[in-house]
Amino acid sequence: MVGRQAPGNVDWESVRDDFLGDTEKTYLDTATKGIPPRTSFGAMREYYTALRRQDSRSATEQTISVLEYLREARCEAAEFINASEHEIALVESTQQGIRVVADALVLPPGSQVLTSDVEFLATVLPWRSLSASGVELKVVPGRDGAICLEELEASLTSATKVVCVSATQEVSGATLDLAALGRICRARGVLSIVDATQYLGPRTLDVEHAGLDCVAVGGSKWLCNPFGLGFVCLRSPLLEELRPKTYGYMALRLPPGGWSEFVANAVASTEVPAVFTTSAEKFEGGGTGPYLTALTLKASLRELTAIGRARIEARTYELTSALIEGLDKTGMKLVTPREDPQRAGIVTFTTGDERDDVRLYELLLDNEVVTSYRRSGSTAGIRVAPYFYNSPDDIDRVVEVVNAFTR
């Protein structure tokens, strides 16, 4: 676990206004959808303004200039998790990031992919399609909505080639020790594929330290980007091993003279040697890119980096700890593990009765306190997801409504 930094030296009221200044609701559901900062909104507005004004000398010139947005977003993502730019591919969702590996990885018949029965469906689906090739998806039972690393390790066999799990479970909020997972997989020669969507942000992640082979992250939750773009990190030697099934022309290595000259002489384009990039960028599809959401992802990640990843982690722990303390006084049962290392930004609790949980969830919404009700198997409850842009007053508001319900 990366050492935490004290949450001081930040004007949290200004941060709150930057992210939540346009809503009067008590927003505590970042695990479903993060709130973009004003800089992200400003970047989006500037993008559309530039399209409408056409200040560039030509439309082609403007089109080529936005390619830089993709590179800048990859750079920001790489810095955010201590990776290299060439290891980052922009993908529309976590599932697409995992599918990149599942589709490109050549596993012999009889191979085994290990996962858990507490996993979110999208994390598992890409591996199910491999059954036609004789690859088995082995599901290890979870415990109270959490993955037990000891049981996961004990389930590894000589046939196991991949372990694919979430760093933080979306219902229970139970969080893995990623460095320990990385050590287990490396010791057994097994690939570690991690869905870090509910982890990254509330927790800092250093992929070099964790020793993971692949990390996929959706951008629309704790990274505070609009829906439609996140990233996947593919590390060596896995990156060198994977080959896309198809290539697009934007996956070519930059042609001599750059894209401007290539477009200007497109009549000869069929004769250009097809030398493709060896970076993770080759998995981005190779056509016209998601320039707008790349621009907003860059803006959001820069904002988070400016606040400080360690400060964000410390602030999130401060708020989730206060929430747990407040819920304890109301008599609610905690679903999320109490121990700091086993939780991130999610605190899920229950009244002990499913019907009462739903009623309490509706009461929270009626009082404009935005949370979620989630269920997976036998694990269920009201999921509260405070983030650095929330305040102690937001936490008090949740406890106030819960207290009113129990009276």
Please state, in angstroms and as integers, the Cα–Cα distance from residue 77 to each residue in 111, 292, 337, following that order: 32, 16, 29
Give all domains of the chain, ordered by start, each with its CATH number: 12-28+308-406 (3.90.1150.10), 62-248+275-304 (3.40.640.10)
**Reported confidence tier of residue 253, pLDDT bands at 50, 70, 90:** confident
Looking at residue 2, its pLDDT comes to 35
- Lowest average pLDDT, out of 197-201, 259-263, 287-291, goes to 259-263
For residue 301, which of 23, 37, 18 has the smallest C-alpha distance?
37
Average pLDDT, the chain: 92
Strand partners for 194: 165, 215
In angstroms, the CA 275 to CA 251 distance is: 9
Q: Is residue 398 within 8 Å of residue 369, measured between CB atoms? A: yes
- β-pairing, 347-350 with 379-384? antiparallel
Encoding tokens for residue 78? Answer: 């790489």
Looking at residue 122, its pLDDT comes to 87
Structure confidence by residue, pLDDT tens digits, 106-153: 999 999 999 999 999 889 999 998 999 999 999 999 999 999 999 999
For residue 337, pLDDT over 50 is answered with yes
For residue 341, which of 360, 313, 302, 379 has the smallest C-alpha distance?
313
Helix (H, G, I), strand (E, B) or coil at 198: coil
Mean pLDDT over residues 242-267, rounded? 74
Question: Phi, psi (5° rounding) for residue 113?
Answer: -110, 125
Identity at 73, one-letter amino acid code: A
Mean pLDDT over residues 399-407, rounded? 95
In angstroms, the CA 323 to CA 402 distance is: 11
**Reported confidence tier of residue 193, pLDDT bands at 50, 70, 90:** very high
Q: Is the peptide bond before 237 cis (omega within 30 degrees of 0)?
A: yes
Structure confidence by residue, pLDDT tens digits, 57-72: 888 778 888 889 999 9
DSSP string, 255-267: PTTHHHHHHHTGG
Structure confidence by residue, pLDDT tens digits, 286-333: 778 899 999 999 999 999 999 999 999 999 999 999 999 999 999 999
In angstroms, the CA 120 to CA 101 distance is: 17
In angstroms, the CA 63 to CA 76 distance is: 22
Looking at residue 57, its pLDDT comes to 80
Angle between helices 309-330 and 392-406 (to 10 degrees): 20
Beta-carbon-side half-sphere exposure of residue 337 (alpha carbons within 13 Å): 19
